[in-house]
Amino acid sequence: MDTNTFAPEASQDAKALRVNGARLWQSLMDLAQIGGTAKGGVCRLALTDLDRQGRDLFSQWAREAGCTLRVDAIGNIFARRAGEDDSLPPVMTGSHIDTQPTGGKFDGNYGVLAGIEVLRTLNDAGIRTRAPLEVAVWTNEEGSRFVPVMMGSGVFVGAFTLEHALKAEDHEGTSVRDALRQIGYAGEAGAAHPVGAYFEAHIEQGPVLENNRKVIGVVQAALGQRWYDVTVQGMEAHAGPTPMELRKDALLAASELVREVNRIALERKPHARGTVGSMEVFPNSRNVIPGSVKFSVDLRAPDDEQLGGMDAAIRAACARVAQASGLKIGIEQVVYFPPQPFTPALVEAVRANAADLGYSAMDCVSGAGHDAVYVARVAPAAMIFVPCADGISHNEIEDAEPGHLEAGCNVLLRAMLASAGVAA
Ligand code: GLV
Ligand code: MN
Ligand code: MN
């Protein structure tokens, strides 16, 4: 399989091919209507009815582009465009269409719709590939409603079991199993199919490309992550009569740990990250001393040893705060994946095709998790980043330039064609 720039035998027609940037943009805007927010963002949480509507629209577009569709048991959708030799493993692209509660129009959606645009472009030009092509919509990449994050791709590659994912529950106690059935996307069980090569286009979600005035990010690797659920058990009591020194205030102890998470990452500059993004306070009443608190911890690092050091540090901090406060503190790791390098030959294909197309490019590392991180465990994989405005993502104001999105999609088209081969 040729993974560099266009194979010399590729037809001149194919080499001259460019995606339709206006059509890609319009598809992004159309999909963003589903769950669109007043501030111009999108709230389309995984496996909600809005997610179903987004999936239905994707499926309609994929069918119109001549694809056959398959849904697996965790709800991943695979839209397949036949190749000349269908016994070859597909060259795949994709991403996710679930969003954060205050998400944007581009995170994930771009990678999926760039895939659709590649297929539409090939259809318009009447180009057939040797290997089949597939566009994947991975279930619950965001990890906002359900943990683990990157759930669909994680099951696909066997990072955790289907059963583990199906059992996950949201804050209301609805399981992934039930949510999949409710939206009609609980598909067939069965082994994951082989993937010949995987490319994922995504907005950078950070400021590096924009600051360096580059259009294409050639992604070398993604940070490793460890996520935890931390529970602090104190005791509810009246906010007035209970003297300060007699309290078992779970939120006070949790607050000390929030600072610890920040410190642990700051001590490992410049690449380590530490975030507490979610907290449940019980009973959450103004005049009751908090009796219990549950919160999330998200730690990231480019080096697995460093991430291990952060793991030891947060566990030690929990023990220290428990000892000092006399409260019970539990910490459970709910997500772990080590830093993931992408496949050198495919990374090189992204770089070479960006150069061939005349786009400015630079090497970068992904601070975010992506489905490509898991797919890289079972297939050659690479990512294509494009800038987003002010590097802001996971925010309703997330924005990207149509020309940059088009450029990333052209690189995707080239890289996929080079991997799949063009039929004679
Ligand atoms: C995925 O959005 C992540 O948290 O990296
Ligand atoms: Mn994403
Ligand atoms: Mn995201």
Look at residue 389 and give its three-state secondary structure.
Answer: helix
Which ligand 1 atom sits nearest the alpha carbon of residue 150?
1
Cis upstream peptide for 270 (omega within 30°)? yes
Which pair of structure tokens corresponds to residue 121? Answer: 């472009």
Q: What pLDDT tens digit does each residue of the chain (424 aa) get?
A: 444 455 544 566 778 999 999 999 999 999 999 999 999 999 999 999 999 999 999 999 999 999 999 999 999 999 999 999 999 999 999 999 999 999 999 999 999 999 999 999 999 999 999 999 999 999 999 999 999 999 999 999 999 999 999 999 999 999 999 999 999 999 998 889 999 999 999 999 999 999 999 999 999 999 999 999 999 999 999 999 999 999 999 999 999 999 999 999 999 999 999 999 999 999 999 999 999 999 999 999 999 999 999 999 999 999 999 999 999 999 999 999 999 999 999 999 999 999 999 999 999 999 999 999 999 999 999 999 999 999 999 999 999 999 999 999 999 999 999 999 999 8
Pairing relationship of beta strands 91-95 and 197-203 according to DSSP bridges = parallel
Q: Supply the pTM of this predicted model.
A: 0.96
Nearest ligand, measured from the Cα of 45 = 3
The answer to whether the beta carbons of residues 181 and 187 sit under 8 Å apart is no
Q: What is the pLDDT of residue 15?
A: 81
Backbone phi and psi for residue 418, each to the nearest 5 degrees, phi listed first: -65, -35
Which ligand 1 atom sits nearest the alpha carbon of residue 225?
5
The answer to whether the beta carbons of residues 171 and 182 sit under 8 Å apart is no
How far is the centre of ligand 2, averaged over its atoms, from the C-alpha of 196 (Å)?
22
Which residue from 149, 226, 365 has its CB within 8 A of the most atoms of ligand 1, so it is best to mutate? 149
How far is the centre of ligand 2, averaged over its atoms, from the C-alpha of 205 (Å)?
8
Q: Which of 36, 24, 87, 14 is nearest to 61 (CA)?
A: 24
Which ligand 1 atom sits nearest the alpha carbon of residue 368?
5
Which residue from 394, 395, 398 has its CB within 8 A of the most atoms of ligand 1, so it is best to mutate? 394
How far is the centre of ligand 1, averaged over its atoms, from the C-alpha of 100 (Å)?
9
Alpha-carbon gap, residue 265 to 277, rounded angstroms = 15
How far is the centre of ligand 3, averaged over its atoms, from the C-alpha of 262 (Å)?
21
Alpha-carbon gap, residue 217 to 206, rounded angstroms = 11
Look at residue 120 and give its three-state secondary structure.
Answer: helix
Nearest ligand, measured from the Cα of 104 = 3
Nearest ligand, measured from the Cα of 202 = 2
SS3 content of the chain, % helix, strand, coil (to 5): 35, 25, 40
Which pair of structure tokens corresponds to residue 334? Answer: 């709910």
**Residues composing the chain:** 424
Instruction: List pocket residues of ligand 1, CB cut-off 6 Å.
Output: 142, 149, 368-369
Alpha-carbon gap, residue 37 to 347, rounded angstroms = 36
Match 């095709």 to its residue by tokens: 353
* Cβ-based neighbours of 5, under 8 Å, separated by 6 or more: 349, 352, 353, 356, 414, 418
Convert 260-281 to b/e letters by CB count within 10 Å (16 or more is b).
Answer: bbeebbeebeeebbbebeeeeb
Q: What is the pLDDT of residue 13?
A: 73
How far is the centre of ligand 1, averaged over its atoms, from the C-alpha of 146 (Å)?
13
In eight-state DSSP terms, residue 35 is: T
The answer to whether the beta carbons of residues 157 and 172 sit under 8 Å apart is no
Q: What is the pLDDT of residue 424?
A: 84
Which pair of structure tokens corresponds to residue 229? Answer: 């659920």
In eight-state DSSP terms, residue 343 is: P
Which pair of structure tokens corresponds to residue 290? Answer: 């908090």
Give the residue, by CA position, lying nearest to ligand 1 atom 1: 369
How far is the centre of ligand 1, averaged over its atoms, from the C-alpha of 124 (Å)?
34
Going from the C-alpha of 391 to that of each of 227, 240, 291, 350, 388, the distances in angstroms are 23, 46, 39, 21, 5
Please, what sign has the CA dihedral across residues 119, 47, 154, 257? positive
Give the residue, by CA position, lying nearest to ligand 1 atom 2: 142
* Cβ-based neighbours of 201, under 8 Å, separated by 6 or more: 93, 95, 110, 111, 114, 115, 383, 384, 385, 386, 408, 409, 411, 412
Which ligand 1 atom sits nearest the alpha carbon of residue 367?
5
The answer to whether the beta carbons of residues 421 and 2 sit under 8 Å apart is yes
Alpha-carbon gap, residue 24 to 238, rounded angstroms = 57
Look at residue 181 and give its three-state secondary structure.
Answer: helix
How far is the centre of ligand 3, averaged over its atoms, from the C-alpha of 392 (Å)?
11
